Structure 1
Amino acid sequence: MDATMENKMGLPPPYESTTPYPAPPPSYFGSNPPPPGPVIPTAPPRTTVITTGPTVSRPGKLGPGPTGTLCATCNKSVVTRVEYVANNRTHIVSAALCVLAGCCCGCLVPYCMTSCKTANHYCPQCKAFIGSRVPS
């Protein structure tokens, strides 16, 4: 029987002979064979370095005026130096006074009041920034 005749009769095609096993992959060890038994890789020893940085202590509650606290930079107990800076609240109160009062003189009042400004606290010894108090 020929192949076309087998296909017409519904028979499967004849099997071709193949090699019994494929060739093994190349060795990853080169010319040195692996040692007998399981291979357990060993990790290099680890070195741990522990460093201590400067401790940063949060100041307690800072008031609207000079406040006694511990400076985190120079580690001295100091009474802070305060600088008052205008913030968004100062500008909003000023604009509201200008609209309500109808004159421009009333809008300058919030810029003269420390209760409408942010109080920035600094160390008088080392001049480091300690913190700020925003009015509520």
Structure 2
Amino acid sequence: MDATMENKMGLPPPYEQTRPNPAPPPSYFGDNPPPPPGFSTLPPATAPRTTVITTPAAGQGSTRPGKMGPGPTGTTCMTCNKTVVTTVEYVPNNRTHIISAALCILAGCCCGCFVPYCMRSCKTANHYCPQCKAFIGSYTPS
């Protein structure tokens, strides 16, 4: 069979033989030729380095504030490193909006939907440093 007959029968064209490993063009590597096969460019193995991370003990100026409560809380400010009693700003959260919508639907009027916005127990308490006004943490009621 010749090549035209193979193409008519739907057979693929014959493969052409190529050189096993053609050499790259001379400018491919620039001035640095590739390393010979079997040569490793990795640096020699060195001893592993050990890093010790310590945390301060409780009462020695830890950088993490304690648990925040729903009201003003005594803590150490991470920004100014002073022991302060936080100022609290109460902001509505998703729970406030859900309770408001539920009261509006259950009561049948819009009068009861404003009650959750007046209650601190339905809002998130954001704690701020009174000295530098930095955000310290928040308390979300469960």
TM range (shorter): 0.5 to 0.7
Query: The residue matched to 1:85 in structure 2 has which SS?
Result: strand
Deviations 1:36-68 (A, max 9, x none): xxxx99xxxxxxxxxxxxx98221011100000
Asked if residue 104 in structure 1 is aligned to residue 99 in structure 2, the reply is no
- Matched pairs, number: 86
Poorly superposed stretches of 4+, deviation over 2 Å: none
Gaps of 5+ in 2: 1-30, 33-42, 45-60
Aligned residue number for residue 93 of structure 2: 87
Q: Which amino acid counterpart does residue 93 of structure 2 have in structure 1?
A: N
With the length of structure 2 as denominator, give the TM-score of the two structures.
Answer: 0.57
Q: CA RMSD in A?
A: 2.4
Asked if residue 131 in structure 1 is aligned to residue 140 in structure 2, the reply is no
Gaps of 5+ in 1: 1-27, 30-39, 42-54
Q: Distance in 2 between matches of 1:82 and 1:132?
A: 9
Aligned residue number for residue 73 of structure 1: 79
Deviations 1:74-123 (A, max 9, x none): 00000000000000000000000000011101000000000000000000
Equivalent pairs: percent with the same residue?
A: 79
Q: Which amino acid counterpart does residue 117 of structure 2 have in structure 1?
A: Y
Flag the structure with larger Rg: 1
With the length of structure 1 as denominator, give the TM-score of the two structures.
Answer: 0.59
Query: The residue matched to 2:106 in structure 1 has which SS?
Result: helix
